[in-house]
Amino acid sequence: MRGTDFKQQLPQPDDAAKAKLRRLLAAGTILPVMNQTKWAELIEAMLGSPQMQPEFRLHSVLAPSGYCTDWDGDWHYHIHPVAEIEWIELRAVSLDWLLSTLRKHNLPFSIEGETPRVWGYTRIGTQPVWC
């Protein structure tokens, strides 16, 4: 599955979550960094390289501060609606492969500790050190 076909199948937030996201955006609380196309490219790249065993954990803009999911490798069913993702951290068998994949797709990411973090949104006063 490629391009727009894949993008159309990304998980979507429910109506209540969409309303919360609109309020956060309108208030300037969150600033978008990613779009549907970039999310589709990221997920497609991870699904296309199962030998690298890519895993993720994420934080939703709708989740309590400090909460993130456990590490998960199920990119088909466990990825949140991407419109809600504040950031997603990634790990794989090869860090070099992971970093080159992120750069190849021009994805907005930073390194937190030793972990690549792709940003869906930033917040006022929080500016990642972009790679």
Please write the tens of the pLDDT for every residue from 105-131.
999 999 999 999 999 999 988 889 999
pLDDT of residue 107: 98
Question: For 29-47, b where at least 16 C-beta lie within 10 A, e where not — what string?
Answer: ebeebbeeebbbbbbbbbe
40 inside domain: yes
90 inside domain: yes
18 inside domain: yes
131 inside domain: no
Q: Which residues of the chain have pLDDT under 70?
A: 1-8
Give 40-85 as a DSSP string: HHHHHHHHT-GGG--EEEEEETTSPTT--PPPB--TTTSPPPGGGE
Domain count, the chain: 1
pTM score, whole prediction: 0.91
130 inside domain: no
Question: Domain residues for 90?
Answer: 3-123
129 inside domain: no
